Structure formats: C-alpha cells, structure tokens
Structure 1
C-alpha cells in the first residue's frame, strides 16, 4: 500500500491541490484562521503582545486560586466580564513592572536569591536533620509547578528583581502625624444627628388591594416569582471511606501487621547521656583548635581513670553552661535530637561507657552513656482497634487506586446509566433533588463541588442525559452524576404565588405611604423647624454607623457644614422614609500614642498603594500600553 502511495505521489499532490485551492475560494482564508482565534491580541505592553489564550489561561489560574480559598463563591462572579478584565489588567501591570525592571537594570544577586530560598518555608521544610536540602524532594516541588529547579530559581530571581521596581517607591513614602490626622479627621468625621423614621409596617393596615392590582403587580414583577433552574440527580461516589467499610480483615493479617510494625508501635529507643564540651568553632585557627583537642584528651584520660568523677569534671570544665551545672547531664533523647556525630557516638555506647573524643560543629565532646530506655511494645489486643483502622485504610487506598480508572472509564463508556458501574464495583446509586448550579452558602457534601455542578449543568448532562465524567471532589473521592429530571428556570403560576404577590404588593404600597407621610412632615418642619419632632441626638461617622441604614449616614455626611443645622429627607426604599437633622460636627475622640502610631502606619500603607498606582499609570504612558479588549461597565452603571 505504502509503495503505491510513493509511486503515485505526484498524482496525490495534484488531487490535494484541486481540493485545497477551491476551499480557499469558497470559504476564504478567514475560515482557516478560526483555528488561531485564541491567538487574538487583547493588549500590548511596549510592543509585546498579550494573546487571548494567555489571558484565558491566566484567568483560569486566578479562578482556581480563588476557588481553593473560597470554595462556596458563586462561579458566575469569577467568570464575569469585570473579573476577567481585572485579570487582564493584572497581567498588564506585571508586564509593565518586568519592562521597568529591565530598563532600570535591576538584578538579584546569587547571595540574595540563596538567602530568600533558605528562608522560604516551603523549601526550608525540605531540609533533613543534618540541615542539607533533599534535592529529590526539591525537584518534586519544582515539578509540581511544571518546572525544573533551574526554572524555579530563575522565576524567583525574576520576581525578586521585579519587586524592586515598586519597593523603593513604597519605602520612600512617609506620612507625618499631622498629615495622618488631617486625612483621618476628614474621612472619619463625626456628626451629631437627630432622626425620625416612618416604617412601612406602620402603614400596612391602611393598604387595600383588589384582584386586578395583584394581577398587574404579578405581570410587572414576574422575575420575582421565577424559580431557579434545578435538577434531580442520581450519583455514585467512589471513596476510601466506602471501601474501608467493605474490607474484611483475617486475624492472621492483623497479627502479621502487628509483628511487622512492632518497633514503630512501641516508639523509639531513648538514651540518657552526660557530656563534657570543649568549645572549638569550625573557623577556629588550627593552632587554637589543636589546643582545645589537647585539653579534651587530657580530660578524657582523667575520667577514664576515674569514671565516677565524670560529673565533677563536667561541672568544672565543660563549656556547655546549660548542662555543666547538672554534671553534664542531657536527659533522655531519641535519634534526630542531637547533631549526627554526637548521636552516632551515643547510640554506639553501652551503658556506663565513656566515648572517645567526638568532634562536632560545636567543638570536642566526651560522652558518658548513663541509661538506656527501650521502647515498651504494646500488646496485640490493646492495639487491635488501631491496627484494624490502619490496615483497612491502607487496603482501601490500594483498592481506590485500582478502581479509580475502572470507575472513570465505565461512567464514560456506559454513559446512559450508572447502574452497570454500580453493580460492577458494588456501589450504591444515591439520589438528590432540587440541585442548583450554585452551591448553597456553607453547604457541605460531594454534590456542592463547583466542578461537579458545572458538569451536571452541561449540555451533555442536561440535554443528552449522559453521565458526567468522574470528578475528583476531594482527595481519594470520585463522583459521577446523572440528571433524572431537569426543571428550567420559569415563572411560577399566579395562583401558586398569589399569597406572596399580595404580601409584596402590600409592602410596596405601605412603603409609598410611609414616604408620602415623611415628605409631608419634612415640608412642614422646614416651614416651622420648631415643630420638628425628632429623636435623641447621636453621633455617626463612616466607622460608627450606630446600626443606621447606610443611606442615612451618607446623607448626614453630605450635609454642608456651613448650613447646619440642616434638615433633609432620606428615601429608604422598602425600609420606608427618614427625616434627618444634622446639628453639628463632633470632634473625634482623643487616641493614645499606640493608636496614633497604628493609624499613621496604616495611612502610610494606603498612601504607598496610591503612589504605586500613580507610578503604574505613568509606566503605561511610557511603555505605550494598548488595550484592545473592551473594558466592561461597572455593575449598576
């Protein structure tokens, strides 16, 4: 077959030419460019392009990060036009800072990079008892982020260099106490007000509605009576907990496991030792170090000649002040507690033995082993519950690893039912009703996983009624669901919601009556302020709203200070109406020195952020930032 293709290659090329060229004529070059839609440029920074695919990838990473922190957040908020544009703006700022770092020749030295990596908690945890970095685990850490160690270090170096762009600017910001006080006095200004409110509930008895009013309100406000799209589902869960419950453990398996782990179950051997330390730092000159060793050897000869004098010799000569007063006693310790040379020597001694000279980073040690505490092995019966739990968990995890692929493949290959895989793996088909696309706040359980809900409300599941793919909703937990009943969002029938319509309409009309009464009183009191019947005076500010509606506080703070006392009305919507009289400005209470300093530091940070934003704006002009993606309007505009 392949020979015939080779022999007739010119004919095949001719046929391809005849097929491809007309397709360009019929469909145009743009039809082929659709394969590159993801390469559309959405922004440029100093000529460098940010493509649609880069934007999409960055936003998905941002969404994953936020979902990990706030699992119950509405997915629609994260995928809004505003959220997506915020990600693009962040990408532009990062590119700007990187270009500024290059232009300003900001670099990170090897010493600073090394110091940063040593202090990084995720890397510090990879060091062993001897202080050395476990390179295999370090490579695994880098690989988990899709990088080699060299790539990880290059990225950290680049990030540290970029941080210098804004670090100098932010560090240079300094706010005096006077500046802080002036700003906070304006922002946290307190005003004395008096208030009179008219609540809709006080007017509800005066409202009369007829059937026609209810019908009209139902038609005008139909969205208020729309149900949320929801489904009834069947689902299967494959998890370690379910597998554990089905595992039968033969008695012999438990005994074998007990014997294999006897040393671990009994704990570690501990040793008690005393020591005499002669200090000799690593960088000590050779001559001084030799003197220290000679002193140690002299003391070793003395204690070997009279072992019972070890404690007295330690008290008089040991440079370890912490243990010298106790005759050199270090109490009991297990492996891993001491530096390695000391540990190796101590665990090689017999009780009562005195070691040779042991050199460590601290100097020269003479060690006397004073006691050995062997681990006490618990009995089989006392350990049975723990042994069963451990062994069940281990076997369940092995089974899960074996069955996970079978589960995933089966729900996909037999997508018209969950029954076959349930029967095959001995799982129970569970049911749930009224599942919505957005998890309820604080809701728990496998069905409240955003990824699973996204799969349940996909076209494949809703329209084609296929099983969802196996979704990992938690470690060692896979779930597949199947839609049984789908209820699209719809306006409920009038008769079904008539009582709710009446309640809402009465509330709305009562609010109108409250507003009318309040406006009438306001007009009267403005004509004759002495007749104003207001409540007790209280002080309000942005940080002390006194449990008042925000609209009341905002109105009070907007009042012109030159025209006080000022009388004004505030429409509270469904909460009715209020008349507010702003009497005067109230001085802020005195603060102590600590509070004053905290305020100044906080104000300095806010000022530094504002300076950073201004500097970024100047960089956008300097490096000619071009935004091709349309900026969405703010919500409510």
Structure 2
C-alpha cells in the first residue's frame, strides 16, 4: 500500500488538496486550529486579555525599546517585572479605551489635523505653499510599518484616550497656604540632642564559649556559604594581538611615507598684509558696490606704488586690528582665515598683490610678504610612527578575517583552547575564584557579563567545553572554558570559626547597645535630673541634617509634637544605636518669592500624580479590572 502511495504521490497530494481546502473554505480556519486556546490573564469591562495579547504587546514594547536603545541588555527587557509592567500598560490602555467609549470622547478631524501639524517631523514636510508633501509623509509613517490611515487612526485613538485623564490632571492646583503647610510639615525643623551607644564599646562584655559559637554557626549556616566558583582559562583576540603577527614590508612603508608626507610634515605658513573695506554680506547691494569701488581705487593706488602698501593700509584699511601695523596679519596656516582670503593667499607668490577679494566681511587687497616652508622630515625620522600607523590600519583590515578563524576554531575544537591559541599566537590566560557575577572592580574580559554567563552555561559547566566567541569590547573577542568547578557549599566550622566568633560578638554587642539605649530612654524620660552625656543641641530637618545620620533625623521626626520634649531610639546599623532627645519644633524661615513659586509648582505636580492615580484606580473598579498573574517581587539588589 505504501509502495503504491510512493508511486502515485502527485495524485495523492492532488486528492488531499481537493478534500482539505474546501473544508477550510466552508468552515473557516479557527484561530485556535493549530494551537491551544490562549489562557486569559486579565479582564477589563468584560473584555478578555489573553496570554497571546500580553506576549505580542511585550514583544512590540521590547522591539521599540531596542530600536531606541540598541545597547540595552536584552535580559533587562525580559524580567518578570518588565513583563508585568507591559501587562499593566495593556490593562491601562483598555481601561482608558472603555472610559473614552463610555463618555463618548471622540477626536474631531480638526483636532487630529492640528495635532499632526504639531509633530516636528511632519511639520518639516510642509512645502513653501503650505501643502504637505504626501510622498514624504507616506515614507515617514511607512518607516514605522504603518500606512497614513493607520498612523492617523493611532493618533486619533491616543488623543481620545488622553481626554480621559486630561480633565483630572489639568484641574489640579495648589494654593500658597496649602504649599506652606505641606512644606512646613515636610521640612519641619526640630532641635535635638544625641548620645550614641556604640556596639564596639559593648564587645568586651561578650565572652562566648565554643558551644555558643557552634550553636550560632548552626543557626546561621547560610551566612557561611561559599558561592560556586570556577577556575577558568580564556583567550582574547584584539587588535593588539592581530598587530603582533603583522610584518610591514619595507617597500610598503616607503610608499606610505611618500603618500602621507604632506600630512605628516609641518604645515606651510604664510605672512600677509591686507587692506579691508568693510561691507557685511547682509548689507544692501548698493552699499557693497560702493565698498567694492573704493577697494578697486586703493588697489590701483598700491599697484602703482607697491612700497606704499603699509601707509595706505594705515590710512584706509577698516580692519582696526591690523591697520595700525600697516595691515600686517603675521604668519598663519591653512584654516586660520576665511576661505576666499585663504584661497587667494595660498596661490600667490611672495611680493604679489592680489586682485580685490570678496568675503563676508567686505573687500580685501592682499600683499603676500613672506612664506615659511618647513623642513620635510626624513623617512628614518618617521619610520617608527609610520610603521605603527600602517600596522594599525592593516590590523583593522585583517581583524574580521582573523575573527572568523577565531570563532570557527573555538567552536570546531571545543575541548581545548590550545588549538586557537597556537593557530593565532594567543596567550591562554587563567583565573581562579570566578563566580556567576563579575567581581567588584573587575576589568578585562572577566568583567563582561556575557562571557561570565557563557562560562556558567550548562554546556560549558558540565561538559567543560569552550564557550562561543563573545564580543567583550570594540574589536575584541574572547572565549573561555571551565578548568575546575566547585559548587556552592557551607564551609565547615573549623574553617570559619574566627569569622563566626566575630559575627557572634558583633550581634551580641549590638543587642547590648540597643538594650542600654532603651534602658536610658525609660530612665531619663521619667527623671530629667539623671540625664547625662547628651551632645550640644542642633536643629535638624529632612533637608538639613547637620551631619547627623539619616536614622537620627527620622527618629527625631517620628516623636509626636504634643509630647515634646520627647525621646526616640535610632538604629545606626552595625555602628550601634543613638538615643535622641527632641527639645522643640523650630519655625522654618519664610521662603523667598522664587522658592515659594517652585514649591507651589512641586506640590501641584504631587497633587496631579496623586489625583491621577486615584482616578485611575476608580476607573479600574468601575470597569471591573481583574489581573490574574500576581505582581512579581522586586529583584534583590
């Protein structure tokens, strides 16, 4: 039977075509025909948002960000937090669309046209008669993968959605009184005194036994873990390694010297004097003609008596900077003067007087008084620099070819880096204690996250195989392999006993410092005469800490105003604790008019954000928003 099918395969395919295609025509192709139904991840106003909708939206958002920022790490765009943010944006757009439809918010053709004209890229397409260059407009929106109709539909939709929040955001305001009250509270000033209870002062009271250390070690085993580590080998291909294998031909070097002598030699300089008759390029034509005629008169005068050039310049030149020196401009090289002036000077011979030269400044009569021609350096004088330049150029041209060999060799001979090192005369470098995250302050290839990630990939880690060639810098490739690997493990107590003892003492000393601060707080709150050791009073606020730790300022501001003077304990971390006495609230100085205006604007922005968020949350309730996936936890720093 199968033999018959093979012999008549074309006939069988034709029959299948006749049977299958009509069924699609009559029944239609269901969107889920070739795949399972996409699960629902959210609902807005009864409308579903599926996993496919979410994936497509995130793909579009990722493509947009990568187009704007090509160097962004793709991994940052595919984190759970980034994907969830896309879902929230998708839900927000659906909420605004539902609100716009419910409120019958539409964008008129006139409003659309006005908005399009406000887009700089489109406004620049206007012709002189005010009409729009339709072909250029089509090309502009086509670069975004849209037709003009599709682009305008998107803009119309965005304008309609913006109306949903526009009324709320545009109606917020802040009064002077509200601003003053808000900033008086935010930057409230309090007079305080402080006494510190440093943990180090209590350490001598802690004398742990071996049993204490062992119990602490067992209770805190995670703090004594050694992360997974690897010893690695790696090779680097860069321009320097390519240059090392280049030998410059003597004939090529001499040819390069001849071709670049003009560039490498010192520049010729010329000395000239001039007579200038001012006439700016924006001056009326009649004024410029008059100035030109005057310059022609002076030209005839100095050509008749060249020795009088300096005297004529002193009397008639309108260049106040050089007239007093007889028009002398001293020596200058190319690029120092305006182009018409320079072009004239560098075509003249010594002693020549030019025709009238027109520039943006007016009309010049030029006398070339001297030429300074520098000595040309010899080949031997430039040999070292020429060889370095030529090697660099040849290395840049050869790098792509060598890079391909490097890439192919580390892939085709994956069990060792020796073949690629021998082939390209590279040095195999080693490193120990390499972890999945580049070490702080690391430099070179092992500071590159892509190479580290490739080293700890399963193929490299389990098979001890070479990584692929990784670009770790401009014109720089690297490949590596794991030579030895140590998985994460809890270090035995024998190795970390000293560290365990130090940590134990630190924790117990901190606890003693906290208890002492709490004890003094209780005692001094009820007996003011027992207070001792407090610092001199200082006035602090959120914007003026007076060198006090942030924890001290925060603790002082948490004390209730109606209980002053009052006490608070501030946690200073590993340093210990501080006991803070809050004496009184100190009135803030009145803000100057400019500062008050800035504060009012800032408060209005805060109100705008808060009211916009509250209104959006109300819309989410109104349109019964449901988001099924849980918000992912923020990544640990």
Calculate the TM-score normalised by the size of structure 2: 0.73
1:191–1:586 contact (8 Å) kept in structure 2: yes
Alignment of 1:478-627 (within 5 A): 478-539=477-538, 540-572=540-572, 574-586=574-586, 603=599, 606=602, 610=606, 613=609
Partner of 2:258: 259
The offset of 1:615, in angstroms, is: 8.7
CA distance in 2, matches of 1:51, 1:471: 30
The offset of 1:554, in angstroms, is: 0.6
* SS in structure 2 of the partner of residue 40 of structure 1: helix
Partner of 1:402: 401
CA distance in 1, matches of 2:173, 2:279: 47
* SS in structure 1 of the partner of residue 463 of structure 2: coil
Q: Structure 1 residues 336 and 103, CA, compared in 2 at 3 Å: closer, same or farther?
A: same
* SS in structure 2 of the partner of residue 321 of structure 1: coil
2:172–2:608 contact (8 Å) kept in structure 1: no
CA distance in 2, matches of 1:172, 1:324: 66
Q: Structure 1 residues 171 and 413, CA, compared in 2 at 3 Å: closer, same or farther?
A: farther
The offset of 1:556, in angstroms, is: 0.4
* SS in structure 2 of the partner of residue 480 of structure 1: strand
Q: Provide structure 2 residue ranges, at least 5 long, that are not aligned to the other structure.
A: 24-28, 40-48, 97-105, 126-142, 146-150
The offset of 1:87, in angstroms, is: 7.9
Q: Structure 1 residues 515 and 612, CA, compared in 2 at 3 Å: closer, same or farther?
A: closer
Alignment of 1:81-480 (within 5 A): 81-82=80-81, 105=115, 107-108=117-118, 185-249=184-248, 253-480=252-479
Partner of 1:12: 13
Q: Which digits, 9 at most, give the CA deviation of each residue in 1:221-274, with x for residues without a partner? A: 222112223221111111112333444445555444333322211132222222
Partner of 2:59: 53
2:556–2:582 contact (8 Å) kept in structure 1: yes
1:273–1:368 contact (8 Å) kept in structure 2: yes
Q: Structure 1 residues 436 and 204, CA, compared in 2 at 3 Å: closer, same or farther?
A: same
Q: Provide structure 1 residue ranges, at least 5 long, that are not aligned to the other structure.
A: 44-49, 68-74, 116-145, 149-153
Superposed CA RMSD in Å reads 4.9
2:231–2:431 contact (8 Å) kept in structure 1: yes
Q: Which has the larger radius of gyration?
A: 2
CA distance in 2, matches of 1:291, 1:59: 60
The offset of 1:104, in angstroms, is: 6.5
The offset of 1:480, in angstroms, is: 0.8
The offset of 1:407, in angstroms, is: 1.0
1:30 aligns with 2:35: yes
1:41 aligns with 2:53: yes
Q: Which digits, 9 at most, give the CA deviation of each residue in 1:471-517, with x for residues without a partner? A: 22222211111112222333222332222222212222222223223
CA distance in 2, matches of 1:311, 1:92: 82
1:277–1:365 contact (8 Å) kept in structure 2: yes
* SS in structure 2 of the partner of residue 434 of structure 1: strand
Aligned residues: 567
1:38–1:53 contact (8 Å) kept in structure 2: no
CA distance in 2, matches of 1:510, 1:111: 66
CA distance in 2, matches of 1:280, 1:528: 90
2:417–2:428 contact (8 Å) kept in structure 1: yes
CA distance in 1, matches of 2:144, 2:374: 44
